[in-house]
Amino acid sequence: MLNILDFEYEEIAIGTGSLPLNLPTGTEVALTSIFLNIPSINVNILFSATVGWETQLLNQTVIPSLIFRIRRGGSTTSSPIVFQTNDAQYLPDFNQFIMPINFNSSFDHSENPIPSIVGTFQQYFLTVQNNGIGSAAVIGPVNLSGMILG
């Protein structure tokens, strides 16, 4: 039988903290982080995340493409990537409307720890990077949870 050995959850509600957060194209931005205790090589690390975001239609074709990452130990590009996924939308030219369109991106990931982090507390960061055409903003909610099962 598996037991929950550690659990951490961080949530930023809509309109709180720095939300909404405009995303500059090409720059990776940290959204939130959690700490997990890694007691053994024989555990499973489970992550779950949800990010609410929007793009603005401006009488042109917009193709927002957001890369979501979980990084271990820091939020910079030098920190190891634990997980990465992309969410993109194709929004054709809207000639009559200038309006925001909202989306939610959610993902789950599980892995076994690498030996070098066993016996330590690790900080995991949820980050986002806008690599698309058009503007995008994180509006929330932003959720990151992690669980150690053993």
> Taking the domains of the chain in order of start, what are their residue ranges?
4-102+120-149
pLDDT of residue 99: 72
**63 vs 65: CA distance, rounded Å:** 6
Residue 58: which pLDDT band, with cuts at 50, 70 and 90? Answer: low
Does 60 score more than 80 pLDDT? no
Q: CATH for 4-102+120-149?
A: 2.60.120
**Intra-chain end-to-end CA distance of the chain, in Å:** 8
**What does the pLDDT look like over 101-142, one tens digit per residue?**
889 999 999 999 999 999 999 999 999 999 988 789 999 999
Q: What is the mean pLDDT of residues 59-67?
A: 77
Higher pLDDT: 64 or 82? It is 82
Residue 88: which pLDDT band, with cuts at 50, 70 and 90? Answer: confident
Q: What is the mean pLDDT of residues 50-63?
A: 79
